[in-house]
Each structure stands twice: as structure tokens, then as C-alpha cells.
Amino acid sequence: MTLNIKYRPVKAFLLAAEHGSFTHAASVLGVTQPSFTVLIQDLEHQLGLRLFERSTRSMALTAAGREFLARVQRPLADIEEAYRSVLDLSAARRGSVILGALPSTAFALVAPALQALRCVHPALGARVIEAHNDELLLLLRSNQIECALATLPDPGSDLVSQPVIDDVFCAVFARGHALQAARRVLWRDLLAHELILLSRGSSVRAQFDRAMQRRATGSAVLPRYDVTHILTAAAMARRGLGVAILPRLALPELDMDGLSARAIASPGARRSIGMVHRRDRVLSPATQRFFEQLQAVVPAVDALCARLAL
């Protein structure tokens, strides 16, 4: 048999037992005493017995009332705590963002967004997993992360992307390099120079390879140096080892002392970065609040990037 259990009558009973007075209990519950009395009567009617013995001067629990109190007090407290816990999640008073990010977005976007998030939701935490684009999409599909700041070159039925920022790839080289005098740099201009490329799996390398495949010869272009980390590529370029191809988004957080950057003007030298997540998953309140702060910091980051790469 399904029981029609109502919260307010049971809560009224517990308050009356705690305070020993319908008047005081009604005040705590925020109702008038007649309304409070109706709640108790409804509960007694549903249970089929009296829970209180009342006179003009006193009130006491009946034997049934004492047994009901012993059985219902802890479960109702647990239910109330469960409600409060979920409400805290909904209001982003607690929780954690589990986020994947391209390395360039991790330090250029995630860090300032988390700083802003901490100001408005100080109890929220975050776990940030940095990886190349291909790996981030695998982590999403296997449900190991909730969302990722990544590119989605081939939207499928299982993943969706909410736009965040448009980025452009740049040639980064030591000051005094021949490219510094160039008014505009194209993919083909880079082929005459020794290249420092990020390893396969990165979105930078994927777009460079696609651009090279569209050349008439179709032959593969092998870099002189193949590295994993953006900081390593920049350090090598600073020492004159070659031209690094890096996302403009990374430039503000790099040490650009001794370096210059030129945005690559060719088609295919841009990427759209979005908040990618599974189509069948609703983002948690904590992640939604993070996304709000992320959108707020993007304009300032974008303007700073534009100043560093002509």
C-alpha cells in the first residue's frame, strides 16, 4: 500500500513535541495556531490515533506519540539534510567543476575564470585535466570529464559545443628573424624555415597537417622539432632553433621577451573553441556557474591576445 505522507504535518508534530506548546511550535513553523492545530489533526486522522493529550494548561505525548516520535525524528532529519544538500548544489554553494582543457585554454581562460568564480562562489572547487584535443574528446565520450574547452571539428550526434572564443595560429620566432619584416604570414611562407611543431593529437598540429595536405604536392611536411608543451616550443624559438606555430591564445601567459609573433593569415589557421559536452548530459550547477564566469573573462583575454600578435 502506498502511503500519502505529507511533510508539513509531520514537521508540525516534531516541533510540537520539541517545544511542548502548539503556540511556540506554530510560531517556528510560521503559521497561525489554528492552522497548526489543523495540521496535527490531519496527521492524527491519517494515523487513526491521538498523538497528544492536551488540556488548557498542559500538553503531553501519548504512548503512540512517543513511539511515532522515536521512529520519525531521525528519518525526517535525514530527508531535510538531503534537501539542503541538493539545494546547495543547485545554488552552487558547494560542488566541483570537472573540466578538460586544451593547454592553451587552461592557463589563458580557465585560470582567470576560476579566479572570478571564486569571488562569487567561494566554496566551489575544480579539477582541471589538460590534454590534447583528441584525448579530451575521448574523455568526454567515456564520461570521465563533464565538459571540455576544446574544438569540435566534426560535430557528431553525441557531443555538442557552446561557442567560447575564436583563436588564430601564430608564427612565433626570435626577434630579428626574417619573418619579422613580413607584413603578412601564410602557411607557405613557413615552409622555408625550420619549424617547431606541437605533437600530433594537438589541434594546432592537426590544422597544420590539414593545411599541408591541401598543397599541390601533397607531400608530408616534417618539423625539425616535435614537442609536447607550448612553453618548450616558445623556449626553443627564443633560442633561434626555428619558428614555432602556437595558438594566439597562449601568448599572454608566455614569456614573450626576445620573441615576436605574427598571426597566420591563411585559411585554416583559425579554430573555434567551445565548451564541449555530451548531448545526453545536463551540466551541473557548478559547471554552469563556471561557464558564466568564463564568458565574462573572454573579451579581455581576446583583446590582450590581439595586441601580442600582429
**In the structure, what pLDDT confidence band is assigned to residue 105 with cuts at 50, 70 and 90?**
very high
pLDDT at residue 90 above 70? Answer: no
Per-residue burial over 249-259, b = 16 or more CB atoms within 10 Å of its CB, e = otherwise:
bbbbbbebeeb
**45-54: per-residue pLDDT in tens?**
989 889 998 8
Select from 74, 76, 89 the least CA-distant residue to 121. Answer: 89
Break the chain down into helix, strand, coil percent, rounded to 5: 50, 20, 30
Mean pLDDT, rounded, for 136-149? 92
**In the structure, what pLDDT confidence band is assigned to residue 97 with cuts at 50, 70 and 90?**
confident
Mean pLDDT, rounded, for 222-233? 88
Phi-psi region at 195: left, alpha or beta (left = phi > 0; alpha = psi -120 to 50): beta
Select from 211, 237, 212 the least CA-distant residue to 224. Answer: 237
Torsion of CA 12, 15, 17, 19, to 10 degrees: -140
pLDDT at residue 141 above 80? Answer: yes
Question: Are 210 and 268 a contacting pair, CB within 8 Å?
Answer: yes
- C-alpha grid cell for residue 25? 511550535
Every domain of the chain and the residues it spans:
7-90, 96-305
pLDDT for 219 equals 58
Torsion of CA 222, 228, 231, 234, to 10 degrees: 0
Please give the Cα distance from 133 to 131 (Å, whole number): 6
**In the structure, what pLDDT confidence band is assigned to residue 85 with cuts at 50, 70 and 90?**
low
3-state secondary structure of 298: helix
pLDDT for 54 equals 84
Q: 3.40.50.300, 3.40.47.10, 3.40.190.290, 1.25.40.10: which CATH number matches 96-305? A: 3.40.190.290
Please give the Cα distance from 50 to 53 (Å, whole number): 8
Helix (H) or strand (E) holding 8: helix 7-19
**162-220: per-residue pLDDT in tens?**
999 999 999 999 999 989 888 889 988 888 899 999 988 787 888 888 877 766 455 56
Q: What is the DSSP letter of 262?
A: E
Tell me, rounded to whole angstroms, the distance of Cα 167 from its chain centroid. 20
pLDDT at residue 133 above 80? Answer: yes
Please give the Cα distance from 273 to 71 (Å, whole number): 55
pLDDT for 304 equals 85
Mean pLDDT, all residues of the chain: 87
Please give the Cα distance from 300 to 88 (Å, whole number): 31
Torsion of CA 61, 62, 66, 67, to 10 degrees: -160
pLDDT at residue 137 above 70? Answer: yes
Mean pLDDT, rounded, for 5-22? 89
Helix (H) or strand (E) holding 136: helix 133-141
Q: CA 147, 149, 153, 155 torsion: positive or negative? A: positive
pLDDT for 241 equals 95
pLDDT at residue 156 above 80? Answer: no
* Terminal-residue alpha carbon distance, the chain: 74
Select from 227, 252, 255, 253 the least CA-distant residue to 241. Answer: 227
Mean pLDDT, rounded, for 248-272? 89
List the CATH code of the domain at 7-90: 1.10.10.10
Please give the Cα distance from 262 to 237 (Å, whole number): 13
pLDDT for 238 equals 94
The residue that leads in pLDDT, 80 or 15, is 15
3-state secondary structure of 170: strand
Please give the Cα distance from 203 to 209 (Å, whole number): 10
